[in-house]
A and B are shown apart, each in its own frame.
Chain A
């Protein structure tokens, strides 16, 4: 066990930090968010150049040999600077879905344009505002002479506005399939809007969308597990964003308390405020610890154990993050609720983390479901931070 960065990981973190300092000061960010795209495609080219888009992808599938730790390093730093770019949606979720599901002969064609930054992808899966896990899909794929016809509706497609290609899930006979659908395919109607933290999301309506047979990712009917896996990656990515936002909000608030004067003294002299800050630090450190546990869970081959660990992380970090964000605003007083000041924007990011991909209660319930029937005697203690003997790391997808 080793909780220290390797040299390569350290330089990855340094490189993301440098980018954020140079390209993403808060004022510049606010101006960028007022543009229609809300995001700078030139930044994406930089991400590609610096190798971030493949940093979390195993070498066997064309990545640079990293994994969820590398993704977390990037996302934590991006969240500190409140970067709004479709990194989580394209470079983590869509990329992992393809890597998990695509047949070897499909993989390179699908992944290369994502890794070199020429194309941005978004997973279009959820169909109602309430869905959390494994929705009963209404979108359907009908076989045609040339390929497939897709019909359905998708909501809150993260990173949808910037996407060049949607990964659309649809019922295909008995199973679920995933299709790579270019965004400008006739019949795809996209309505863009802003999520709470400024991220651009979309609702999609697909009416008689004709795609070629080659749009099918995988063998057909087998996408459900890969989507579930990719969304677990997404959940842990969100948790990494939360830890970055919590840590940043904590220390900004600390600095504020040391400078803001009322009653003739700086606010840091009040014990009630000191103790609130201490509680915020407790939650931040435990959230970071839980993030590491969640990352470890992603490597588990046993699906129930993986989901259990991921849901534990989401339930814990989602609540802890909102607490820290809300208290950071509270300790700032009035300035905390203004748009011009940074701290409220951390709260917005943390609100998204808490609510997206399943609420805390939904994850708590999934945690309990996955735990049902576990051998507690065997699990006591150890399996809670490591796969038990027989559960090996899954490095590549078996086919």
Chain B
């Protein structure tokens, strides 16, 4: 056992920090630190800068354009990115569909999609949830029927993050209505510009737009866009969701949020009752960070037991840090404070309130993050998983 970083890892961290500081455009970093949603153009600029270094998707295998970094080094890189205010890249592409494509996709699919993901030329969204298939995903009803060299897809997807900016959707569709729920599902890649695809915004309680409904009416999807085998989509989705759960502790985000909270709330921290809440949060975060390190350092015994723990507690801490920030801001934390870029605004934008710049975005985050304990498998689902898979209850 060795609970410290090696000199090599420390040097890695210093190098990456220096590079990010030297290369992240100041206006993008400023928007990131203020908690704006990253615009597509910010993500494009930043992803391409990273891609020129070969760092756009560090977790991918080197043969597909990833790095040979260790999981710990990738985590250190994440910490540095979030601390610097770098825009979050297209996670649906980098962390979800990318690994599915290089693991299960055809050579043609790998060639067609992976380089464009790395260079932020194609943005993706995930078409999994439906109005009647949320936590119970396997009950999804969107149909895909073979017609010549195409699947004809009809149905409705919902809670689709970033559909408004996406070029492609990876979707779970039912290709065998007779099979038991998990067995008749396939994994399709759908062009968002195809006729019959319609995106409708869902405005969320943060008064922003990041999720959508996607209606699919007789959308013709070429058979070459089927990933892997027909009716095997559920196993690819499970593979993807496991990746989603492992990364979902989001400790790098919470660490960055906590640092900015401590910066702007220095005065408020003189109140011992408030300071105790912040300390309590920081201590919980320290425990979670070490749980993440146990998982990424591949302690064999930790893998199963901890993946759901990471999601569950990680989601709670993201909520708590935003709530404490709102509390620290006092009345300024209660003022609706729309994104000044107008990006992702609702259809009924509020006027900008005369509050300090550091107040920006916290109320919206505190509201939106009620979703962190719901998406990606709600905390109740995580408890079910722990009870069944880990405790054998």
Subset of 14 A-B contacts with CB under 8 Å: A1-B4, A3-B1, A3-B299, A275-B384, A277-B386, A278-B382, A286-B284, A287-B287, A289-B289, A309-B286, A312-B282, A371-B279, A382-B13, A385-B289
The residue on B at minimum CB distance from A363 is B283
Query: Once bound together, how far apart are the Cα atoms of A387 and B387, in whole Å?
Result: 37
Q: A281 touching B302 by the CB < 8 A rule?
A: no
Q: Known: A292-B3, A295-B3, A368-B279. Contact between A385 and B262, CB under 8 A?
A: no
Q: A274 touching B384 by the CB < 8 A rule?
A: yes
Q: Known: A285-B309, A293-B287. Contact between A277 and B3, CB under 8 A?
A: no
Q: A380 touching B276 by the CB < 8 A rule?
A: no
A36 sits at the interface (CB 8 A): no
Q: B79 touching A381 by the CB < 8 A rule?
A: yes
B155: min CB distance to chain A, Å: 31
Q: B256 touching A380 by the CB < 8 A rule?
A: yes
Q: A277 touching B391 by the CB < 8 A rule?
A: yes
B-side interface mostly = helix
Q: B309 touching A385 by the CB < 8 A rule?
A: no
Q: B386 touching A1 by the CB < 8 A rule?
A: no
B45: min CB distance to chain A, Å: 24
Q: B279 touching A274 by the CB < 8 A rule?
A: no
Give B256-283 as 1s and 0s: 1 = Cβ < 8 Å from A's Cβ atoms: 1001001100000000000110011011
Residues 356-385 of A at the B interface (beta carbon under 8 Å): 361, 364-365, 367-368, 371, 376-377, 380-382, 384-385
Query: Once bound together, how far apart are the Cα atoms of A376 and B257, in whole Å?
Result: 12
Contacts of B83 in A (CB 8 A): 380-381
The residue that B279 contacts in the complex, of A69, A282, A290, A367, with Cβ under 8 A, is A367
The residue that A286 contacts in the complex, of B287, B382, B386, with Cβ under 8 A, is B287
B125 sits at the interface (CB 8 A): no
B374 sits at the interface (CB 8 A): no
Contacts of B2 in A (CB 8 A): 1-2
The residue that A296 contacts in the complex, of B4, B76, B284, B309, with Cβ under 8 A, is B4
| Segment at the B interface, from A4-12, A92-100, A147-155, A200-208 | A4-12
A190 sits at the interface (CB 8 A): no
The residue on A at minimum CB distance from B292 is A289
B360 sits at the interface (CB 8 A): no
Q: B4 touching A376 by the CB < 8 A rule?
A: no
Query: Once bound together, how far apart are the Cα atoms of A273 and B384, in whole Å?
Result: 11
Q: Chain A contact residues (Cβ within 8 angstroms of B): what range? A: 35 or more
Q: A278 touching B387 by the CB < 8 A rule?
A: yes
Q: A3 touching B297 by the CB < 8 A rule?
A: yes
The residue on B at minimum CB distance from A293 is B290
Contacts of A389 in B (CB 8 A): 10
Q: A9 touching B386 by the CB < 8 A rule?
A: no
Q: A3 touching B302 by the CB < 8 A rule?
A: yes
A216 sits at the interface (CB 8 A): no
Contacts of A299 in B (CB 8 A): 4
Q: Known: A286-B287, A368-B275, A368-B279. Contact between A376 and B309, CB under 8 A?
A: no
Query: Once bound together, how far apart are the Cα atoms of A31 and B207, in whole Å?
Result: 66
The residue on A at minimum CB distance from B256 is A380
The residue that A290 contacts in the complex, of B1, B256, B275, B287, with Cβ under 8 A, is B287
Query: Once bound together, how far apart are the Cα atoms of A384 and B80, in whole Å?
Result: 14
Contacts of A281 in B (CB 8 A): 305, 309, 386, 390-391
The residue on A at minimum CB distance from B4 is A386
Contacts of A268 in B (CB 8 A): 393
Q: Known: A254-B391, A364-B276, A367-B283. Contact between A285 and B291, CB under 8 A?
A: yes
Give B374-393 as 1s and 0s: 1 = Cβ < 8 Å from A's Cβ atoms: 00000010111011101111
A257 sits at the interface (CB 8 A): yes
B255 sits at the interface (CB 8 A): yes
B306 sits at the interface (CB 8 A): yes
B72 sits at the interface (CB 8 A): yes
Query: Once bound together, how far apart are the Cα atoms of A376 and B83, in whole Å?
Result: 11
Contacts of B252 in A (CB 8 A): 381
A258 sits at the interface (CB 8 A): yes
Q: A385 touching B283 by the CB < 8 A rule?
A: no
The residue that A275 contacts in the complex, of B4, B6, B387, with Cβ under 8 A, is B387
Q: B384 touching A9 by the CB < 8 A rule?
A: no
Q: B391 touching A289 by the CB < 8 A rule?
A: no
A315 sits at the interface (CB 8 A): yes
Query: Once bound together, how far apart are the Cα atoms of A37 and B294, in whole Å?
Result: 41
Q: B1 touching A257 by the CB < 8 A rule?
A: no
A394 sits at the interface (CB 8 A): no
A252: min CB distance to chain B, Å: 12
The residue that A1 contacts in the complex, of B72, B280, B313, with Cβ under 8 A, is B72
Query: Once bound together, how far apart are the Cα atoms of A290 and B383, in whole Å?
Result: 21
Q: A382 touching B79 by the CB < 8 A rule?
A: yes
Query: Once bound together, how far apart are the Cα atoms of A389 and B14, in whole Å?
Result: 10
A14 sits at the interface (CB 8 A): no
Q: Known: A278-B391, A296-B4. Contact between A289 and B290, CB under 8 A?
A: yes
Q: A312 touching B283 by the CB < 8 A rule?
A: yes
B246 sits at the interface (CB 8 A): no
Query: Once bound together, how far apart are the Cα atoms of A295 and B4, in whole Å?
Result: 10
The residue that B393 contacts in the complex, of A277, A367, A387, with Cβ under 8 A, is A277
Q: B3 touching A1 by the CB < 8 A rule?
A: yes
The residue on A at minimum CB distance from B288 is A286
Contacts of A21 in B (CB 8 A): none
B321 sits at the interface (CB 8 A): no
Contacts of A275 in B (CB 8 A): 380, 383-384, 387
B393: min CB distance to chain A, Å: 4
In the complex, which of the residues A273, A292, A387 has the most CB atoms of chain B within 10 Å of its own CB atom? A292
Q: A289 touching B287 by the CB < 8 A rule?
A: yes
